[in-house]
Amino acid sequence: MASSEGNKLWGGRFVGNTDPIMEKFNASIAYDQRMWEADIKGSKAYVKALQKAGLVTQNEMEQILTGLDKVFDEWSKGEFKIKPGDEDIHTANERRLKEFIGDPAGKLHTGRSRNDQVATDMRLWLRDAINTLKELALQLISTMVERAAVEIEILCPGYTHMQRAQPIRWSHWILSHAVALSRDVERLEDIRKHVNVMPLGRLFLCIYNFKRILYELNFDSISINSMDATGQRDFVAEFLFWASMCLTHLSKMAEDLILYSTKEFSFITLTDAYSTGSSLMPQKKNADSLELIRSKAGRVFGREDKEAMFDTYDTVHAVLQVATGVISTLMVNQPAMERALSPDMLATDLAYHLVRKGMPFREAHSCAGKAVYIAESKNIHLSQITVEDLQTVSPLFDKDVSSVWDYNRSVEQYSAPGGTARSSVTAQIEHFRTWLQAQKQKP
C-alpha cells in the first residue's frame, strides 16, 4: 500500500500515515514559507555545483533551473498553492518543482540534508533582513541628528529618577538616544558576519564545489564543522538579543516622549498621524505610537529559533519605521521646556562656584545643599537668596554669585567632548554625520 510518507523528504523507511495531529504539530510551512526566495536561491546555486561535480547532467541542471524559476514566479505573483503534504517550505518547493519537470527534480537533494537547507535558508533570509533593519536604523539616526542640528538652541530640563536635574540642550537628549542606536547598528554588523557563514552541502567531497556555492550565494566563509553547521542557532540567538537591546533603547526613548507629550509637561506635541483618540473622552490625544513602541520590546524577550526570528524581524521593522515617523514629525514646545527650568536645577552650579574658589567639591556640595534648605524654608527660589544668607553658609560667597543663575551659562560650561555646550553638541552632530556617511559607503 502506498504511503503518504513517500512524498516527504524523509519518508522512505516509514510505513503508514502520520497522525494528523502530529502532522500539524510538526509542520512549519505556516511561518517558514516566507523563506521561499532564499530556498530557491540556495537550490539554484546547489544544482550548479551538482552539475560541476558530475552528479547531474547539463540538461538536468537546466531543467531544474527552469523549474525553479517557475516556482519563483508563482511565489512572487502570490499564486503558489500550498498543499496538505507541504510540511515546510523545502518540501513545498521540491514538490512543485517535481510537478513542473518530473523525475529530475529528485536529483536536487543529492548530497544535502533538509537540515542543510534549513540552516542555509535561515542564514540567507536573516542576512537580507539585517540589511533592511540596518537601513531603517540609519534612517532613524539620520532623522534624529538633523533634528538635533536644527533645534540646537533649545534648552530643557534633564531628568534623573524622574526629578529635574540640570539644564541641558534638547539636542543633547535626542543625541543620547542616537548614540545608543549607533551601537545597535555596529552590533548588527558584527552579527551579520556570524550569519554569513555557509553550512550548505556538508556531504560534498570536492572543495571546489563548496567554493562555487560560496561564490554563488555571496557567503563570506564556510562552516568549519558540518555537525555544528546544521545544529547550531547561535546566529539566531544573537539576532534576538540584538533586537531586545535595540527595542529596549527605543522603549526608553518612547517613555520619555510619552511623558513630554502630557499636558503636565507639554514639551512636545505628536502629529495626528501618530496619535489616537479616546472612545469616551473627546479631548484626549493618546500617544499610542509611542506606547506601542514601548510595549513591543516585551514581544521579543524570551523568544527563540525560527518562528521568533520572523516575528522579531517584523516587530523591529515596524518599530523603526514608526519611531522615524514620530521623531521627524513631533512638534517641540520651546516655551514650555524653558518654563520648566528652575533655579534649583542650578544647585550643582552653585557648588561649582565654590569649587572654582578653591573649596573641595564634597564641602561645596554640602554648602549648596544648605543653600537649597534656606530657600525652601523661606519659600523662595534658590536664585532669590541674598548674598548675606549665602555668606552664613560660606564666606566664599559674594556678589559674583549672581553669574550662577544663568541657564545658558550652565549648559555652556560643559564644553568637554560629550558635554551639553553648543560646541560639544555640534561636535556630536558632525561625528554622526561622518559616521552615517561611512555606514552608507559600506557594502
CB under 8 Å to 430, separation ≥6 — which residues?
none
Residue 285 located in a structural domain:
yes
Q: How many domains does the chain have?
A: 3
Spell out the residues 6+ positions from residue 78 whose beta carbon is closer than 8 angstroms to its own.
none
DSSP-derived letter for residue 7 is: G
pLDDT attached to residue 279: 64
Same domain for 312 and 282?
Answer: yes
Q: Which of 278, 403, 415, 423 is catalytic?
A: 278
Provide the pLDDT for residue 313: 94
Alpha-carbon gap, residue 139 to 322, rounded angstroms? 11
- Quick one: cell of 72? 519563483
CA–CA dist 173, 159 (Å, integer): 10
- The pLDDT, as a whole number, for residue 227 is 80
Same domain membership, residue 321 and residue 359:
no
The three cell numbers of residue 166 are 540640570
Last residue of a domain, one of 53, 84, 110: 110
Domain ranges, residue 359: 343-412
Residues 355 and 333 in one domain: no
- Does residue 118 form part of some domain? no
**155/263 same-domain check:** yes
Closest CA to 47 of 27, 28, 32, 62: 62
Question: Residue 271: CA atoms inside 13 Å, Cβ hemisphere, count?
Answer: 11
Looking at residue 212, its pLDDT comes to 78
Q: What is the pLDDT of residue 10?
A: 47
172 is catalytic: no
51 is a domain residue:
yes
Of the candidates 297, 320, 300, the one whose C-alpha atom is nearest the C-alpha of residue 308 is: 300
Residue segments in the chain with a per-residue pLDDT below the cut of 70? 1-27, 200-209, 278-281, 301-305
Which residue type does 307 have?
Answer: E
* Active-site annotation holds for 249: no
Q: Which residues contact 419 (CB under 8 A, 6 or more apart)?
A: 425
Residue 424: inside a domain, yes or no? no
Over the stretch 340-377, which tens digit does the pLDDT of each residue have? 999 999 999 999 999 999 999 999 999 999 999 999 99
Q: Is residue 115 part of a domain?
A: no
Residue 206: half-sphere exposure toward Cβ, Cα within 13 Å = 11
Considering the domain architecture, whether residues 233 and 259 belong to the same structural domain is answered as yes
Distance CA 113, CA 381 (A): 75
The pTM of the full predicted model, rounded to 2 decimals, is 0.85
Residues 94 and 236 in one domain: no
Asked whether residue 37 falls in the same domain as residue 95, the answer is: yes
CA dist., res. 326 & res. 139, Å (int): 13
Would you say residue 361 lies in a domain?
Answer: yes
Residues 100 and 142 in one domain: no
Whether residues 93 and 155 fall in one domain: no
Please tell me whether residue 169 adopts helix, strand or coil conformation.
strand
146-154 long-range contacts, CB within 8 A, separation 24+: 147/171, 147/174, 147/327, 147/328, 148/172, 148/174, 148/175, 148/178, 148/425, 148/428, 148/429, 149/426, 149/429, 151/332, 152/422, 152/425, 152/426, 152/429, 153/422, 154/332, 154/334, 154/337, 154/338
- Concatenated DSSP letters of 126-163: HHHHHHHHHHHHHHHHHHHHHHHHHTTT-EEEEEETTE
d(CA 145, CA 85): 52
Exposure string over 70-102, b if 16+ CB within 10 A, otherwise e: ebbebbeeeebeeeebbbbbbbbbbbbbbebbe
Q: Of 307, 340, 373, which residue sits at a domain end? A: 340
